[in-house]
């Protein structure tokens, strides 16, 4: 079965000086909770295979898969800004596409 992302988003990690991560993400995938516009948290995985590591302050358009898409996808739409959480806000993801199979 092929891995199909739930969304595509423009992801930007905050620079370390602005409270972001101190190190780059792993090269294959990175998981963390996303804060929805309504304040709910939903765990997700960003696939980094084509991009590789994402460094603090860097941006990339990435495919994202939610662990519970049935609940997460009802909380936002295209253009929504989701916050990435790792004990604190470390970045944001602007939704540019929602999968038709989601």
Query: Looking at the domain assignment, is residue 90 inside a domain?
Result: yes
Q: What is the C-alpha separation between 8 and 78, in angstroms, rounded?
A: 9
Query: Looking at the domain assignment, is residue 69 inside a domain?
Result: yes
SS (H, E, C) 74-98: HHCCCCCEEEEECCCEEEEEEEEEE
Query: Looking at the domain assignment, is residue 81 inside a domain?
Result: yes
Query: Looking at the domain assignment, is residue 87 inside a domain?
Result: yes
Query: Looking at the domain assignment, is residue 83 inside a domain?
Result: yes
Number of domains in the chain: 1
Q: What one-character DSSP code corresponds to residue 16?
A: G
What pLDDT is recorded for position 67?
Answer: 96
Query: Looking at the domain assignment, is residue 2 inside a domain?
Result: no
What pLDDT is recorded for position 101?
Answer: 58
Q: What is the C-alpha separation between 64 and 102, in angstroms, rounded?
A: 11
Query: Looking at the domain assignment, is residue 1 inside a domain?
Result: no
What pLDDT is recorded for position 23?
Answer: 96
Query: Looking at the domain assignment, is residue 84 inside a domain?
Result: yes
Tens of pLDDT, residues 49-84 = 889 999 999 999 999 999 999 999 999 999 999 999
Tens of pLDDT, residues 3-54 = 799 999 999 999 999 999 999 999 999 999 999 999 999 999 999 988 999 9
CATH number at residue 29: 2.40.30.10
- Determine the structural domain holding residue 45 and report its residue range: 7-98
């Amino acid at each position: 079965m092929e891995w199909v992302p739930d969304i595509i988003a423009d992801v930007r990690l905050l620079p370390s000086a602005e409270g972001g991560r101190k190190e780059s993400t792993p090269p294959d995938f990175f998981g963390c909770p996303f804060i929805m516009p309504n304040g709910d948290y939903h765990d997700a995985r960003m696939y980094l295979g084509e991009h590789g590591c994402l460094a603090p302050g860097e941006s990339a358009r990435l495919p994202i898969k939610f662990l519970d898409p049935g609940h997460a996808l009802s909380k936002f739409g295209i253009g929504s800004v989701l916050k990435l959480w790792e004990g604190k806000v470390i970045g944001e993801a602007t939704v540019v596409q929602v999968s038709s199979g989601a």
